[in-house]
Amino acid sequence: MSITRRNFLQRMGAAGIVSLGAAPPRFLRQAAYAAAIEGKASNGRILVMIQLAGGNDGLNTVIPYGDPEYRRARPGIGIGEGSVLRIDDYLGLHPQMEGLKQLYDDGVLGIVQGVGYPNPDRSHFRSMDIWQSARPESERTEVGWLGRCLDLNVERHAGTVPAIALGTDQVPLSLVSSKFNVPTLRDISDYELRLGPGSQADRQARRGLMSQLATGESVPGSNLDYLRRTQAGALAMSDRLKAVAAIYRPTTDYPQNELARRLKSVVQLIAGELGTRIFFLSLGGFDTHAQQAAAHRALLTEFSSAVAAFHRDLKGHGLQDRVLLVSFSEFGRRVQENGSLGTDHGAASQMFVVSPTGKGGLFGAHPSLTDLSQGDLKYHTDFRSVYATILDNWLGVTSQTVLGGKFPTIDFV
Amino acid sequence: MTRGAHGNDPLRPYDSGTMGWTRREATHLLWRTQFGASKADIDNALAAGLERAVERLVTSQPESQSFQRSDHLLRQVAEDTGNILDLKAWWINRMLHSANPLVERMSLFWHSHFATSDVKVRSVRHMAAQNDLIRGEALGSFSALLSGMARDVAMLIWLDGNANRKRHANENFAREVMELFALDVGHYSERDISEAARAFTGWHVRNDRFWFNRRQHDFGQKTVLGRTGDLDGEDVIALCLAQPACPRFLARKLLHAFVTIVPREEDVGALASSIRRHDFHMAPVLRQLLLSQLFFSPSARHALIKSPTDFVLGAYRSTKSSENLRQTARVLARLGQDLFAPPTVKGWEGGRLWISSSSLLQRTNFVADLVADHVVPINSEPKRPERLVQYYIDLLLSGRADETASDRLVQYVEEGARKPGARTRGLLHLIMTMPEYQLM
């Protein structure tokens, strides 16, 4: 048994067992048994993925201000040497990203540059599907890369809530699994079950019946089967989250924005030892075709300030060594700004990581601004290398199985 | 048409004489063509027979005086306040009370297809105008609708029409026309997109109106989908409609909405032929579909997961609840279907994506709130526990509950000294939170 597996089972012991509906009781018993014999220490590793939806303009995020080509391509929306947060003589962060700059200076923020994939697709949906399925060659993408990761370890995850999407309307493709219904939470209070009026006895009777009525014989894989499993999982989650919400207190001030609110919920769920290993969050609005400056500034402020507060709170709870945070976007944007002070869909861009092992810094060179492919930056690092690093070096899952190929890992964790 | 070909045609008429036209078939038809079905709705459809029930749906029915009054008033309120929540309320009232429910259903279908969000457009007036355009062609011509959309102010704002200029073509609209409105991924090239974008240059908005800005239109030669010439936007639309992929794309979407999320290829082909044969006019296509063997086939029954509008408005209709329209709009948003604000340009994908443990819990809580306020029509319901349970299983689940479940419900009704009203409320709560109730 690998270290990671043992740790995870230990964490499950601490988390208590949450029923996932139709998960076979045999797994539950095994997992509980394994957790019991392996002790109670809790140091399970956690992954937080943040999607910057719409295609983040990477060039105005990590800015090659020292490059004359940058100034030439961005006469209207370029950000100059005077205002960037300098990383070196060539690169600087967007002026609103003070929070992330601090993490960079502290040596925990990694910037993986020039990330992309072969034959980049400029459709939001197709490209997002490619990133989330990690299968650029496949037309039909029904299971996500993290979903496959869960599917490979059914026994390990049975009886837990292995992954949660926060603040998304739908389960993001990354987390779509053929075995688990990954829950989406808008807010922890979303999981408060209401039973309406009635005497205490009547309410209790109905609550019990609801669980019973959510079970029964149904064709595996059918809609009814899916609905029953989801309903049973929802009722169990509701019970568990009620308990978790009572324990957590933040150790820092969070900025007033949506992403911060959600990241705060993530700390709450981690601190409550829910046993969840993967969290997925999304920040939308990066599709800046026109009048980009103000919108992009607001988005990067939200992203940077929220991630910084999240890291402070993790530290306050002594959890920073257990959490790897990674951001991605479906594509960067075209080098040349368009005629409406915005940018159109592009290709390669950067990914941010907040390293739990203090391995920050720049990874890979900034792509050339002159050697372009149809006006877009060329990638030199396949995004699946970042995924392989997450899988092999952090989640303890063999990346080759999940990604269907071997990709070199990067030293950010 | 030969006998053999007819026999294999998935769109051949359903023979209600030999195959049956019972409450179950009537319920099946109504849940998919309006928003839920009351007992009276089902009784009426049953008496009318299949053909007349379908004919009423696909032809224009006169609206009542009281509906016209409330519709006019709510629309006026929305335009006066400029608050999108009021426009949502106006539409929900139409969905609930219009005499032409299929028009509203198809309007919602096209709203998701041409997904435009007020989050960016920020104008009740423009969103309302787009909704009127959609409603006008909801059962009409798809080609007229597509042309109208290319000049629709809300759409032009949504997809950055004004940024599409001669020297700086903006691909946003052209891409969505091909990817999401007419063809689907895989039926065009990147080159088709950039050339089509040039054809739409200068299709701008000025003074809140569509404006063909000649100075910003690229009159040069373009090649789109294999045709070369001085093409403009109208040509691009015609070229898209002529592609075999176009009726197939629409057919697949209609099957997802009306029949099953996993249609067979031959069903897609048959419906695509019908769309082509009827020159993209929706009423005859829908008439044929709703009267077909395919529509009533066993694999289509209870095969769809209710959307939030189906779930919420259907629950009102089944329980004859009076609704707070603005509050309903908020509930729909929480359940994942915020009217006039679809999540992306891809609209609502629906199916299982409606259901997560979170949204399911929200649906469950909605039922708890609804039932709490519910005034039970005690006089019309049976008294004996078995009968009472069967009555509601028939009405709410179209009879679809296994024996164990109905035994449990009977036991619930028998136990505990509850007053009849509280007893029925508890029973409704339990049935409407059953996984079976999520299906239609």
Written as one string, the DSSP assignment of B394-418 is HHHHTT---HHHHHHHHHHHHSS--
Report the number of distinct structural domains present in chain B.
Answer: 1
Q: What is the pLDDT of residue A1?
A: 35
Is B336 touching A (CB cutoff 8 A)? yes
Question: Is there a domain that residue B225 lies in?
Answer: no
Contact call for A194 and B365, based on CB within 8 A: yes
Q: How much is the average pLDDT of B90-102?
A: 97
Instruction: Report the pLDDT value the prediction gives residue B355, as an integer from 0 to 100.
Output: 86
Residue in B165, B405, B426 closest to A339 by CB: B165
Nearest chain B residue (CA) to A167? B358
User: How many CB atoms lie under 10 A from the CB of residue A40?
Assistant: 10
Check CB contact under 8 Å for A237 and B305. no
Reduced to 3 states (helix: H, G, I; strand: E, B; else coil), residue A50 is strand
Is A412 part of any domain?
Answer: no
> Helix H segments across B123-244?
124-136, 142-150, 153-158, 172-176, 190-199, 233-242
Decide if pLDDT at B389 tops 80: yes
Identify the CA nearest to B74 among candidates B347, B263, B328: B328
Q: pLDDT by residue (tens digit) across B425-434?
A: 999 999 999 9
Q: Any CB–CB contact under 8 A between A226 and chain B?
A: yes
pLDDT of residue A161: 73
Percentage of the residues of chain A whose pLDDT score is greater than 90: 66
Among A263-277, B154-168, B236-250, B370-384, the range of highest mean pLDDT: B236-250
B254's tokens: 């209609």
**pLDDT score of B137 more than 80:** yes
- A409 falls within a domain: no
For an interface test with A, the pick among B192, B357, B393 (most A C-beta atoms closer than 10 Å) comes out as: B357
**Within a domain: B404:** yes
Domain annotation covers residue A413: no
Neighbouring CB atoms inside 10 A of B212's CB total 13
Q: For residue A307, give the 3-state DSSP assignment.
A: helix
- A70 occurs within a structural domain: yes
Q: To the nearest 5 percent, what fractions of chain B are helix, strand and coil?
A: 65, 5, 30
- B103 vs B92: CA distance, rounded Å: 13
C-alpha–C-alpha distance, residues A52 and A281, integer Å: 9
Q: Is some CB atom of chain A closer than 8 A to the CB atom of B344?
A: yes
Establish if A410 belongs to a structural domain.
no
Question: Which is nearest to A295 in space by CA: A343, A339, A263?
Answer: A343
- What are the pLDDT digits (tens) for B25-39? 999 999 999 999 999
Contact by Cβ (8 Å): B342, B108: no
- Confidence grade of residue A274 (pLDDT, cut at 50, 70, 90): confident
Q: How far is B336 from chain A (nearest CA, A)?
A: 6
Report the pLDDT value the prediction gives residue B104, as an integer from 0 to 100. 98
Question: Shortest CA distance to A46 belongs to which of A8, A103, A13?
Answer: A8
Question: Is A293 a member of any domain?
Answer: yes
- 3 state DSSP class of B187: coil
Domain span at residue B357 reads 308-438
What confidence category does residue A267 fall into, taking pLDDT thresholds of 50, 70 and 90?
very high
**Interface contact B126, partner A, CB < 8 A:** no
Domain assignment of residue B352, yes or no: yes
pTM for the whole structure: 0.74
Tokens 């939308």, residue located: A284
Per-residue pLDDT at B72 exceeds 90: yes
Query: From the CB of residue B141, how many other CB atoms can be counted at a distance below 10 Å?
Result: 17
Q: Which residues of B touch A339 (CB under 8 A)?
A: 163, 165, 167-168, 170
What value does the mean pLDDT of chain B take?
93
pLDDT at A25: 36
- How many domains does the structure of chain A reveal? 1
HSE-CB of A298 using CA atoms within 13 angstroms:
12
Do residue B163 and residue A169 have CB atoms under 8 angstroms apart?
A: no
The whole-number pLDDT of residue A36 equals: 33
Tokens describing residue B55:
């004919």
Instruction: Evaluate whether residue B366 is within a structural domain.
Output: yes
- Burial of B8 from C-beta contacts in 10 A (0-12 / 13-18 / 19+): exposed
Where residue A151 sits, what CATH number does that domain have?
3.40.720
Give kind and range of the element (H or E) at residue B26: helix B23-33
Judging contacts by C-beta atoms under 8 Å, the chain A residues touching residue B307 are none
DSSP per residue, A2-33? -HHHHHHHHHHHHH-----TTS-HHHHHHHHH
A271 and A319 in contact (C-beta within 8 Å)? yes
Classify residue B408: in a domain, yes or no: yes
In a domain, B331, yes or no: yes
Chain B residues touching residue A213 (CB < 8 angstroms): 405, 408, 430, 433-435
**Can you tell me the distance from the alpha carbon of A286 to that of A124, in angstroms, rounded to the nearest whole number?**
11
> Is the residue at A386 inside a domain?
yes
Most distant pair of Cα atoms in chain A: their distance: 74
In 3D space, the residue among B420, B422, B416, B411 whose CA is nearest the CA of residue B386 turns out to be: B411
Domain presence at residue A303: yes
A294 touches chain B (CB under 8 A): no
Q: Return d(Cα A243, Cα A229) in angstroms, integer.
A: 22
The 8-class DSSP code of residue A392 comes to: I
- 3-state DSSP assignment of residue A109: strand
Q: Is residue A62 predicted with pLDDT exceeding 90?
A: yes
Q: Which domain holds residue A308?
A: 3-403
Integer Cα distance of A378 and A370 in angstroms: 10
Residue B375 has pLDDT above 80, yes or no: no
pLDDT for residue A26 is more than 70: no
